[in-house]
Structure 1
Amino acid sequence: MTTFRTTVHSMAMPFVVEIDDADAEACEPAVAQFHAALEWADDVFSRWREDSYLRMLERGELTLDEAPRELREVLEACEWFREVTAGGFDARRADGVVDPTGLVKGWAVARAARHLDGARGTGWMVGASGDVLVAPGTDRRIGIADPRVKGDPTGTAVIDVVALGGAFTALATSGGAQVVDHIWDPATGEVARHYQQVSVAGTDLTEADAWATAIAGGGPRIVAAALDRGLEVMVVTGERYDGTFDAQTSPGWPSVR
């Protein structure tokens, strides 16, 4: 099996794309469309660009009806996830503004990845800075990074390996490995330190991403709700004296180690 591999950059991060058994001439336009869809998402949702639709909406320079319909879709999804996660995922800031940043990456990848089907390969995978999405039927073994590793974890030891492509096609990981103390507990308003790292496996990357953030922010009370949704969870609870980790996994967690 030959695999086409490339990396595109958007939304201030790298996105690794792999397409199995496809001709490079077919892969390149498919990846270009994938990349363009990510760039469009950045045009709409970026918090760091003053000309994004989100920032213009916040400044009152346009109405929600004048913005792309996807902006309303994502803002409504943020409220929906706030309800179903019992407040574990909460995109509302202290000033009342809804900040969808915690949802946008997974949503944008899931939306853009449909273009990869145009390469007509036997499967594909997207790696997005801790989140992974694969086409159904794509056989992939994905490592869960050591939370102590800063930057690109490629080539470093992993703490677990999971199977994607069968019952589970999406994997999202959240925690303070890359950006320390950036997740808040909505119930207390304090920095969330329930777990060192949280990983969620499911079939929808937007959902897995939101629930990983919810569990990292809300702690143990959110885990049962995630399991009720049919998701599987691994939480890293601490580091042992020998450098390994204490971790808890749900019964159906797709580990292959």
Structure 2
Amino acid sequence: MGFPVSLRIDDEHVPEDLADTVFAWLREVDARFSPFRPDSEVSSHGRGELAPHELSDDLTEVLDLCERYRLATGGAFDARLPGRGLDPCAVVKGWSVQRAARSLRAAGVRRFCLNAGGDVVVSGGPWRVGVRHPDHADKLCAVLDLTDHAVATSARYERGDHIVDGRTGRPATDLLSVTVAAPTLTEADAVATAAFAMGADGITWAAALPGCEVFAVDAGRRVTRTDGFPLHEGG
């Protein structure tokens, strides 16, 4: 789905093929769930070729998550935008990488960092994770200390105004970036995108969710940070 993935494992005696298994799973996800592949399950369902009872359990789970966030945001987050077809990528990315992290833990790995396009899930720690400055690609606006946690950022700096407010059908432009730390990347990634789509109200919405901590920069360059955001001392 167009994002680079890196994996660092600090444990000893790791099975040699474990990393290959992780990347094979992510390639499988791309083949099955990418809306940019006409032969994917998502594309087939989006065209009406697959009825709900014909969907895989994985896609059913993803669509249920999409519906959960659509309802929670009053329609600001929507995987079915008019004119765009079915696009669950905002949920699939975090969900699939969290699933990969779960497989690493199941294999006995206790200390790792899995980074998918800047969205990160870690085991063990603390791991130090930087958040890119929304205006300057070579600078950071925050540094986190993460232990057994995940963090995701939704922003305009990489892909422009690509996040749409489903309530209006127009790009969401109230915010420059929203970073969410949460127990899983499934939640961190979806909540960051949903909050961005909601605009200024999304900061308060995300901050009120159990287990979520938020660092946001609005279009006026004002920063909002929840008290529990795992900011590195001095960062």
Asked if TM exceeds 0.5, the reply is: yes
Q: Distance in 2 between matches of 1:58 and 1:111?
A: 24
| Residues 16 and 173 of structure 1, relative CA distance in 2, 3 Å threshold | same
TM-score computed with the length of structure 1 as normaliser: 0.82
Where does 1:212-227 land on structure 2 (aligned, <5 Å)?
212-227=192-207
Alignment partner, residue 231 of structure 2: 255
- Answer whether contact 2:113 2:120 (CA < 8 A) is retained: yes
Could you list the per-position Cα deviations for residues 192-213 of structure 1 after superposition, in whole angstroms to 9, with x for gaps in the alignment? 1111111011112111111111
Matched, 1:53 2:49: no
Q: 5+ residue gaps in structure 2? A: none
Alignment partner, residue 131 of structure 2: 144
Could you list the per-position Cα deviations for residues 79-107 of structure 1 after superposition, in whole angstroms to 9, with x for gaps in the alignment? 01111233332222115944212111111
Structure 1 vs Structure 2 CA RMSD: 2.0
Alignment partner, residue 192 of structure 1: 172
Alignment partner, residue 115 of structure 1: 103
Alignment partner, residue 13 of structure 1: 3
Q: 5+ residue gaps in structure 1? A: 1-10, 151-155, 240-244
- Answer whether contact 2:195 2:205 (CA < 8 A) is retained: no
Matched, 1:100 2:88: yes
1:124 is displaced (CA, Å) by: 0.8
Q: Distance in 2 between matches of 1:36 and 1:75?
A: 22
Alignment partner, residue 77 of structure 2: 89
Q: Write the letter of the residue equivalent to 1:214.
A: A
TM-score computed with the length of structure 2 as normaliser: 0.90
> 3-state DSSP class of the match of 2:103?
helix
- Answer whether contact 2:178 2:196 (CA < 8 A) is retained: yes
Alignment partner, residue 34 of structure 1: 22
Where does 1:237-256 land on structure 2 (aligned, <5 Å)?
237-238=218-219, 246-256=222-232
Could you list the per-position Cα deviations for residues 108-138 of structure 1 after superposition, in whole angstroms to 9, with x for gaps in the alignment? 1011222222554441111111211112x32
Matched, 1:201 2:201: no
1:29 is displaced (CA, Å) by: 1.3
Q: Write the letter of the residue equivalent to 1:46.
A: S
1:71 to 59, 75, 82: 59
- Answer whether contact 1:88 1:222 (CA < 8 A) is retained: no
| Residues 62 and 88 of structure 1, relative CA distance in 2, 3 Å threshold | closer
| Residues 60 and 92 of structure 1, relative CA distance in 2, 3 Å threshold | closer
- Answer whether contact 2:95 2:185 (CA < 8 A) is retained: yes
- Which consecutive segments of 4 or more residues in structure 1 shift more than 6 A? none
Alignment partner, residue 6 of structure 1: none
Aligned-residue sequence identity (percent) comes to 37
| Residues 195 and 39 of structure 1, relative CA distance in 2, 3 Å threshold | same
1:220 is displaced (CA, Å) by: 2.1
Q: Distance in 2 between matches of 1:238 and 1:192?
A: 11
Could you list the per-position Cα deviations for residues 5-59 of structure 1 after superposition, in whole angstroms to 9, with x for gaps in the alignment? xxxxxx3321110111223xx2531111111111121122111212111112223
Q: Distance in 1 between matches of 2:79 and 2:177?
A: 20
| Residues 203 and 102 of structure 1, relative CA distance in 2, 3 Å threshold | same
Q: Distance in 1 between matches of 2:184 and 2:106?
A: 20
- How many residue pairs match? The answer is 232
Q: Distance in 2 between matches of 1:191 and 1:44?
A: 27
- Answer whether contact 2:35 2:86 (CA < 8 A) is retained: no
